[in-house]
Amino acid sequence: MSEPILVVNEVTFRVGGATLVNRVDLVGHPGEVIAILGPNGAGKTTLLRLVAGDLVPDAGTLTINEIDTRSAVPLELAKVRSVMRQGGASDIPFTALAVVEMGRHPHRSDEGASPESDRLAIRSAMNRTDTVHLADRVFATLSGGEQTRVIMARVFAQAAPLVLLDEPTTALDVAHQERVLKEMGQLAADRACVVAVLHDLNAAAFHADRIVLMDGGVVRSEGSPDEVLRADLLSDVYGQAMTVVEHPTRGCPLVLVSDGVE
């Protein structure tokens, strides 16, 4: 197997007397999509923010392409990881095109960088997210779903080896949800490692290579969708009775909510 892009080792993060992430390990390789699942308050977004370098762990280490996120400068981080954060600013006074162009900023000093290579990367990213027609619109005037797709285009244009997505399908219609989820797989096919916080268990079942199920700041289970998406485990973690069957067309687990509460 290729060398890992992401290595999270025994990471713990506390706020006051609360431990939000407790001794979490995670390794991410090129070419895989990792979905982080769990109920509200499980520590999913906190873990993603730790990986992104937005938060500093109280214990443990995190490296991206062997760069320690605790000591890396912003430009170093911008070259190795791109981030779609939850609840991004909706009042950005720039056009959608300008927002996507921001993703190319870390590469301006790269060997071989040129305006043409930037234009190609930006055009490709906007095509992939169905945002070309929004290029001249002011970001603040876009719908929530359109804003999400523009931010996703910025992430794609950044072309980082590690892609971190926090609830990327929020506010998207069904067609655009599926488009974004398929593009996660394409990023992995292009040798990126994609780590996405998702709430949709069935989206994770089909689109993720590996699932990390969190609860109370710890990893309850990690493995393939078949290994993690078990009715007994999901019912316990979510406090809701669930049934898992085989999807009739996709050949992956299909999670159904059952009557009653565990």
Per residue in 192-215, pLDDT (tens digit) is 999 999 999 999 999 999 999 999
CB atoms within 10 A of CB 39: 15
Report residue 87's pLDDT band, with 50, 70 and 90 as the boundaries: low
pLDDT average, residue stretch 22-38? 97
Q: Which are the contacts of 57, defined by CB distance < 8 A and separation ≥ 6?
A: 11, 12, 13, 21, 50, 70
How many Å apart are CA 153 and CA 134, to the nearest integer?
A: 11
pLDDT band at 112 (very low <50, low <70, confident <90, very high): confident
Residue 259's pLDDT is 78
Q: Is the pLDDT of residue 72 over 70?
A: yes
Q: Cα(3)–Cα(161) distance, rounded to whole angstroms?
A: 12
Helix axes 115-128, 144-158, angle to 10 degrees: 140
Residues 169-185: pLDDT tens digits?
988 999 999 999 999 99
Q: Which of 151-155, 172-176, 257-261 has the lowest mean pLDDT?
A: 257-261
User: What HEC string does the chain produce?
Assistant: CCCCCEEEEEEEEEECCEEEEEEEEEEECCCEEEEEECCCCCCHHHHHHHHHCCCCCCEEEEEECCEECCCCCHHHHHHHEEEECCCCCCCCCCEHHHHHHHHHHHHCCCCCCCHHHHHHHHHHHHHHCCCHHHCCCEHHHCCHHHHHHHHHHHHHHHCCCEEEEECCCCCCCHHHHHHHHHHHHHHHHCCCEEEEECCCHHHHHHHCCEEEEEECCEEEEEECHHHHCCHHHHHHHHCCCEEEEECCCCCCEEEEECCCCC
The pLDDT-based confidence of 260 (bands split at 50, 70, 90) is low
Q: Taking the model in full, what pTM does it have? A: 0.93
Class of domain 6-257: alpha beta
Which residue type does 30 have? P
Question: Whole-angstrom Cα distance, residue 11 to residue 29?
Answer: 18
Q: Is the pLDDT of residue 88 over 90?
A: no
Is the pLDDT at 262 greater than 60, yes or no? Answer: no
| 242 pLDDT tier (thresholds 50, 70, 90) | very high
- Binned at pLDDT 50, 70 and 90, residue 161 comes out as very high
Backbone angles phi, psi at 68, to 5 degrees: -75, 120
pLDDT of residue 91: 75
pLDDT band of residue 80 (cuts 50, 70, 90) is very high
